[in-house]
Amino acid sequence: MLILSMVKNIGPAFIKKNLSRILQELSCEAIVEDFKPEELENIGNYAKIADQIIEDCQFNDIEIVSIQDESYPSLLSEISDPPSVIFLKGNKSLLTNTIAIIGTRHSSAIGNKIAERVGSYFSDKYSICNGLVEGIDEHSIYINGHVTKNVVGIISGGLLYKNTCTPHHIKVIEDVLNAGGLIISEFFPRQKEDMYSGSKASRIQAGLSRGLILVQSKTDGGSKYTLAKFAKLGRPIGVIHYPSSEEYNTEIFDANRLIVEKGKEGLAQMIDLKKISSLNVSSLITLSTKDDYDTFIQEINKTKSYMLF
């Protein structure tokens, strides 16, 4: 599976669509010969890279899980293009009950305060999943200056993170691991972050999470990528609504207001979806009080029960 993931134009969506065929073959050469014969000459080189990846993982206590493994997260496999291989470091048990808490990197004082409250409340019941980047992501996982115990971080560089991530991100990753959390990446261990890897990683946040909470975002913010993928999975979305704050009526909460005021139409507008009928969201819940949090949890439980049958 590592080798196939390196073949040009054989991406995650292709592998998901053709997984049953792939599993029937004894080697990946037959698959490549059928679909990308011009890549056959590169298989030997890809195999050497795969051997190095496996060695890196064994030496650094990184687990490799492919989409063909029983331990591959079933929720993640529901997205249209699940990673064919993911790399994990830390406490895998946190994957069983996860929600995404997301928002802008350029958060305000009010946004940070709300993120801390939301993270504190939901971390007692769920693993908190996001990209661990500055802003809302960080403030949702740091409670009283310390990372909460239940954090699943999806990073946009390889899990040899001291060489692939920024110094600030390295510190957050280590705080999460030291608190008993889990770090996941679809990128090879030595692969560095780049301008595109963050948006790719956002689909994993969506796929792993039973519910998603948007704390604070502009309409053109990076949260739209996670929301776009999540809005097709039939799971609940919660949106922070804080009308008593003057700041709530500024640009930095534009996405929140749009979705609260227009519902699914507003969500479709934010994620650039032309047809509302293409949305698949079990419920859109405005979150203003703790009672709303409980409603959100009830919706997650409904969806969870449906998924089990």
Write out pLDDT tens, residues 160-217: 999 999 999 999 999 999 999 999 999 999 999 887 777 888 999 999 999 999 999 9
Give the helix/strand (H/E) hosting 157.
none
Q: Encoding tokens for residue 183?
A: 């770090």
Report the candidate in 303, 300, 246 with the shortest Cα–Cα distance to residue 100: 300
The ranges assigned to domains in the chain are 2-64, 92-307
> Hey, how many other C-beta atoms are within 10 angstroms of the C-beta on 295?
17
Note the pLDDT of residue 307: 46
Note the pLDDT of residue 264: 95
Q: How far apart are CA 150 and CA 152, in angstroms?
A: 7
2: Cβ–Cβ under 8 A, 6 or more apart, which residues? Answer: 46, 49, 50, 53, 54, 64, 66, 85
Strand partners, 211: 99
pLDDT tens digits, residue range 69-99? 999 999 999 999 999 999 999 999 999 999 9
Residues in the chain with pLDDT < 70?
304-309
Q: How far apart are CA 262 and CA 242, in angstroms?
A: 16
Q: Encoding tokens for residue 301?
A: 């439980």
Note the pLDDT of residue 198: 79
Note the pLDDT of residue 302: 86
CATH architecture designation of domain 92-307: 3-Layer(aba) Sandwich (3.40)
Q: Encoding tokens for residue 115?
A: 């993120």
Note the pLDDT of residue 304: 61
DSSP symbol at 106 = S
Q: Evaluate if pTM is beyond 0.85.
A: yes
Note the pLDDT of residue 64: 97
251: Cβ–Cβ under 8 A, 6 or more apart, which residues? Answer: 218
Check: CB of residue 68 under 8 Å from CB of residue 19: yes
